[in-house]
Amino acid sequence: MDDLQPLILYWGLTWAVVGSAVTPLIFDRRARNPWWGGLIGLIVGIISGEVCGYGLLKIFETLWSDYARWISIFGGLVLLLPLWIFLKPRVGEGLRTHGIVPGTIVPLVFYLVSLSALPMIWAIALAFFEYDPAQKGGPILGLGGENKYVGTQYFEDMIEGDSRNPREFRNSLETTLKFTVVVVPLNLLITVPLASMIESVHQRVRVVFRSIYFLPVVTSSVGVAIMWGYIFNAQYGLANDVTGMAGVKPIAWLQDPRITILGVPVALFAVIIAYLWQDFGYNTVIFIAALQGIPDHLKEAARVDGATPLQVFWHITLPLLRPTIMFASVFTVISSFQVFDIIQVMTQGGPGRVEGKTKVMVLNIYENAFRFGRMGWAAAMSLVLVAMMLLFTLFQLWAFRSDWEY
């Protein structure tokens, strides 16, 4: 049965999408309601794909075993083709032309629900089981059996547990919060004034600056991490060459867990610098677009009243950027909570073993799920991470709310 799971998934998803996309067009041509066609095509596609696909597989396993799996893929056509061919037109009604709408929307909704919502539901369920893919589980998604039910034990361990896993979780949670608290204000403090300065130059020069600052955003994160890893290298890195000019001894930026700046490990600061270098161009472009949308007469009126450029920026530009600042802040928080690749390449969560100074929650989740096979524990941590992002997002929406628009 495990060997058939990929085929079962493929049968259902493929013919559900095909059925819900094509059937509305057929219904439209037959002067019938295409939305009903989308729903009927979805149901018939799933049933035909699963039942007839399995039937064709069993039939051709004995007759033509080498091609049985390929033939089974076409099981969805067994019921869909008769539906498309023999569907009678509704007499007395003219031809409609909007079948393309349900034929596009229904498959997309099914795709989002099946490949987004259902995995999320499964992840929530995993958080209450001691799940390991290598163990033999029960008949429903492998839950039960050797993958035993543990209830809320994982969440209780996160708060009170003294073993390695809870301590690693609390450490990664603290590291993630430090990373976010440092990254978000720095990002906004850099990008808002920078965008304002770029917007003030000539149009042709503005395009050049905008392109240059946006280049790191489209650069591979792995490449960025490797580059900054060389810069912070303890033996031949550029960072030590620069600090050495001031008489500072070489620093093991990414290897020494004892060095901190304002309570933040220097290794985490090194990662933050690399992350900001790659990420700040995105918000810069967003703020440039927002600045172009601010009416010029508001700034001109302030200048006529004698306001200096700094006063215009502080009292006119910045308040009008509030909705954009909220947008940038929300997405920067979400992005910083999900940071993974730069840290994985630069430090692998170190320095330090249990209390890795740069081990953020996503890295901790990844290691537990795919390195150690503790899928249940990883799912529980994922729920905590999602809850944190939701709370931070709601707080920012409340903090940046406004009752006006221009």
Q: Best-predicted range by mean pLDDT among 9-13, 290-294, 337-341?
A: 337-341
Residue type, 386: V
In a domain, 136, yes or no: no
Rounded distance between C-alpha atoms, residue 300 and residue 23, angstroms: 59
**Tokens of residue 287, six digits:** 């703020």
What 3-state class would DSSP assign to 170? helix
User: What pLDDT, on a 0 to 100 scale, did the predictor assign at position 1?
Assistant: 43
pLDDT digits (tens, 9 = 90+) for 24-65: 999 988 888 899 999 999 999 999 999 998 898 888 887 777
d(CA 92, CA 89) in angstroms, rounded, equals 9
pLDDT category at 89 given cuts 50, 70, 90 is confident
- Whether 251 maps to a domain, the answer reads yes
Question: 195 and 91: one domain?
Answer: no
Whether 108 maps to a domain, the answer reads: yes
Are 87 and 193 in the same domain? no
The answer on pLDDT for 143 being more than 60 is yes
Assess whether 189 and 45 both reside in one domain. Answer: no
Q: Are residues 329 and 181 in the same domain?
A: yes
**208 and 112 in one domain?**
no
Check if the beta carbon of residue 165 is closer than 8 Å to that of residue 380.
no
For 216-267, the pLDDT digits (tens) are 999 899 999 999 999 998 888 888 888 888 888 888 888 888 888 877 889 9
Answer left, alpha or beta for residue 151, where phi above 0 means left and psi between -120 and 50 means alpha.
left
Do the domain assignments include residue 405?
Answer: no
Residues linked to residue 129 through DSSP beta bridges, in sequence order: 149
* 147: in domain: no
* Overall average pLDDT of the 288-304 stretch: 86
| Residue 315 belongs to domain spanning | 161-399
**Between residues 170 and 9, the one the model is more confident about:** 170
**Tokens standing for residue 273:** 């610098």
Which of 85, 117, 149 terminates a domain? The answer is 117
Q: Indicate the angle between helix axes 375-399 and 322-337, nearest 10 degrees.
A: 170
Residues in the chain: 406
> Can you give the pLDDT at residue 406?
57
* Res 17 pLDDT > 70: yes
Specify the pLDDT at position 155: 94
Count of the separate structural domains present in the chain? 2
Residues 342 and 394 in one domain: yes
CB 124 within 8 A of CB 379: yes
Question: Which of 69-78, 91-100, 131-140 has the largest mean confidence?
Answer: 69-78
Instruction: Tell whether 230 and 369 lie within a shared domain.
Output: yes
Q: Which two tokens stand for residue 350?
A: 């170190």
- Tell me, yes or no, whether 181 and 81 share the same domain: no
In a domain, 328, yes or no: yes
- Say if residue 266 is in the same domain as residue 342: yes
Which of 55, 88, 117 lies at the terminal end of a domain, its last residue? 117
- Alpha-helical (H) ranges within 64-163 are 68-72, 77-86, 100-112, 118-126, 153-160
Q: Could you tell me if 111 and 169 lie in one domain?
A: no
Q: What CATH number does residue 385 fall under?
A: 1.10.3720.10
Radius of gyration of the CA atoms of the chain, in A: 28
What is the percent of the chain where pLDDT is above 90?
Answer: 44
In a domain, 303, yes or no: yes
Last residue of a domain, one of 117, 133, 151: 117
Task: Indicate whether 113 and 167 sit together in one domain.
Answer: no
**Alpha-carbon span 228 to 286, nearest angstrom:** 25
State the DSSP string of 251-303.
Answer: --TTT-SS-EETTEEHHHHHHHHHHHHHHHHHHHHHHHHHHHTS-HHHHHHHH
At residue 2 the predicted structure's pLDDT band, cuts being 50, 70 and 90, is very low
d(CA 217, CA 286): 13
Structural domain includes residue 140: no
Backbone angles phi, psi at 140, to 5 degrees: -100, 100
Same domain, 365 and 235: yes
